[in-house]
């Protein structure tokens, strides 16, 4: 019998399939249950992982009654993250939230409050936290390779959220257009749009790189496409005491970065007091220049160590060791990042610069 029983709760986000694969491949974990009110959303996972019928639920209470579970994966639509976390908290399971954290900082605080006193962990998973180039960049910044970090630039996105399924299975452009009118990704009330989908990556990992420093004020603009109620392109400028940083999100990149890096490339650019560094998504090396070596040169990425190769492996390890969640998955850090996202969204709506919202 597996040591860790994991439940997959809600299949609104296509990353559920990727996360269940991480559970399936973990030597000490099992998919103990899956739940979604729409059985059609679970069909692919049932077939892929051979999940028996007695572990498949369309009723939440029945799913919880079949527990207990060591970990529950929350892949609801962003606007429902808080309600799902609040529903899970009384059942004694650790909670794994797939990005983004929430639809607002208020919702994020609801989630943190729900977990307080449960003696259980909550982690917010950002898949880019498991990209070797970005982890290597963090090590090099912390070691002082480029001096004091003063500027972080992030460009993130893909062709669009409907162009791929779990395991990055591609969807035809015709099918994407057919799904757009009914997809939650394109509904403002459900937490759709490129800003809420991707700005959290830049805000969260950027805050991690900045060692928890907060910006003073934020200016953001979004595109306004006729017939589409959510943004597909957003640019936020963050003013820190040390200078300006930028987060740009895009649905509609020329290619998906996990297949072929588009131009502009997706990933991070860093400027420090003594050098610069570039960390493209999924790159085999980061590119660096320093005062001692001003020509651009490459440093090979560090391989991810066992226990930190993906979100499920990391969080199950924390549970096993009784260790707090750290880095860009930590709720406190993610709450600051959510405040950055909230301020950017408010700035875009009001078309003016705003101080960081509380």
Q: Give yes or no: residues 163 and 288 share one domain.
A: yes
Instruction: Give the count of alpha carbons within 13 A of 171, CB side only.
Output: 17
Q: Give yes or no: residues 90 and 149 share one domain.
A: no
What does the alpha-carbon distance between residue 266 and residue 157 come to, in Å, rounded to a whole number?
A: 7
Q: Give yes or no: residues 170 and 90 share one domain.
A: no
Q: Give yes or no: residues 138 and 257 share one domain.
A: yes
User: Residue 168: what pLDDT?
Assistant: 84
Which of 78, 93, 120 terminates a domain? The answer is 120
Q: Give yes or no: residues 233 and 273 share one domain.
A: yes
Q: Is residue 328 part of a domain?
A: no
User: Residue 165: what pLDDT?
Assistant: 83
User: Residue 258: what pLDDT?
Assistant: 94
User: Residue 196: what pLDDT?
Assistant: 86
Whether residue 209 has a cis bond before it, omega within 30° of 0: no
Which of 71, 98, 120 terminates a domain? The answer is 120
Q: Is residue 325 part of a domain?
A: no
Which of 66, 87, 120 terminates a domain? The answer is 120
User: Residue 273: what pLDDT?
Assistant: 98
Q: Give yes or no: residues 90 and 160 share one domain.
A: no
User: Residue 83: what pLDDT?
Assistant: 98
What does the alpha-carbon distance between residue 220 and residue 348 come to, in Å, rounded to a whole number?
A: 5
* CB contact at 8 A, 110 and 81: no
What does the alpha-carbon distance between residue 277 and residue 213 come to, in Å, rounded to a whole number?
A: 19
What does the alpha-carbon distance between residue 230 and residue 195 come to, in Å, rounded to a whole number?
A: 9
Beta-strand ranges (E) seen in 170-309 are 217-222, 233-240, 243-251, 267-272, 275-280, 285-290, 297-300
Give the total number of structural domains in the chain: 2
Q: Give yes or no: residues 159 and 292 share one domain.
A: yes
Q: Give yes or no: residues 228 and 190 share one domain.
A: yes
Q: Give yes or no: residues 101 and 145 share one domain.
A: no
**What length is written for the chain?**
358
Render each residue's pLDDT in the chain as its tens digit; 358 residues. Answer: 789 999 999 999 989 999 999 999 999 999 999 999 999 999 999 999 999 999 999 999 999 999 999 999 999 999 999 999 999 999 999 999 999 999 999 999 999 999 998 999 999 999 999 999 999 999 999 999 999 999 999 999 999 999 988 888 899 999 989 999 999 899 998 888 999 889 999 999 999 999 999 999 999 999 999 989 999 999 999 999 999 999 999 999 999 999 999 999 999 999 999 999 999 999 999 999 999 999 999 999 999 999 999 999 999 999 999 999 999 999 999 999 999 999 999 999 999 999 999 9
**By C-alpha distance, which of 191, 46, 9, 13 is closest to 104?**
191
Q: Give yes or no: residues 342 and 220 share one domain.
A: yes
User: Residue 227: what pLDDT?
Assistant: 87
User: Residue 239: what pLDDT?
Assistant: 98
Q: Which residue has the tokens 């069909």?
A: 43
Q: How remote is the C-alpha of 277 from its chain's centroid? A: 22
Q: Give yes or no: residues 97 and 15 share one domain.
A: yes
Question: 311-321 and 15-25 are packed helices; what angle lies between their axes, rounded to 10 degrees?
Answer: 50
Q: Which domain holds residue 349?
A: 131-309+337-355
Q: Is residue 186 part of a domain?
A: yes
Q: Give yes or no: residues 256 and 152 share one domain.
A: yes
Where residue 296 sits, what CATH number does that domain have? 3.30.360.10
pLDDT digits (tens, 9 = 90+) for 237-293: 999 999 999 999 999 999 999 999 999 999 999 999 999 999 999 999 999 999 999
Residue 300 phi/psi, 5-degree rounding, is -60, 145
Q: How remote is the C-alpha of 38 from its chain's centroid? A: 24
User: Residue 140: what pLDDT?
Assistant: 98
């Amino acid at each position: 019998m597996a040591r860790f029983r994991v439940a997959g709760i809600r299949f609104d986000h296509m990353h559920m399939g990727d996360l269940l694969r991480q559970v399936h491949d973990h030597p000490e974990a099992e998919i103990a249950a899956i739940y979604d009110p729409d059985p059609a959303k679970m069909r692919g996972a049932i077939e892929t992982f051979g999940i028996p019928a007695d572990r498949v639920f369309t009723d939440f209470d029945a799913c919880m009654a079949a527990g207990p579970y060591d970990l529950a994966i929350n892949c609801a639509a962003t606007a429902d993250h808080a309600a799902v976390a609040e529903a899970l908290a009384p059942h004694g399971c650790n909670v794994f939230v797939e990005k983004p954290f929430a639809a607002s900082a208020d919702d994020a605080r609801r989630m943190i409050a729900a977990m307080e006193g449960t003696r259980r962990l909550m982690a917010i998973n950002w898949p880019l936290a498991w990209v070797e180039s970005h982890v290597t960049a963090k090590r090099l910044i912390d070691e002082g390779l480029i001096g004091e970090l003063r500027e972080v630039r992030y460009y993130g996105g893909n062709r669009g959220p409907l162009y791929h399924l779990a395991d990055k299975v591609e969807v035809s452009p015709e099918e994407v257009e057919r799904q757009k009118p009914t997809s939650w990704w394109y509904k403002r009330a459900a937490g759709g749009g490129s800003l809420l989908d991707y700005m959290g990556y830049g805000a969260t990992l950027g805050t991690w790189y900045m060692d928890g420093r907060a910006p003073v004020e934020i200016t953001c603009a979004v595109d306004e496409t006729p017939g589409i109620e959510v943004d597909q392109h957003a640019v936020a400028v963050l003013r820190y005491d040390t200078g300006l940083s930028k987060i740009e999100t895009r649905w509609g990149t020329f290619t998906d970065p996990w297949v072929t890096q588009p131009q502009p490339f997706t990933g991070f650019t860093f400027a420090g007091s003594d050098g610069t560094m570039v960390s493209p998504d999924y790159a085999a090396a980061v590119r660096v220049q320093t005062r001692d070596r001003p020509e651009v040169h490459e440093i090979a990425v560090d391989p991810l160590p066992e226990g930190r190769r993906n979100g499920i492996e990391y969080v199950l390890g924390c549970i096993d060791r009784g260790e707090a969640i750290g880095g860009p998955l930590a709720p406190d850090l993610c709450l600051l990042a959510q405040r950055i996202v909230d301020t950017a969204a408010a700035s875009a709506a009001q078309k003016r610069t705003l101080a960081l919202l509380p």
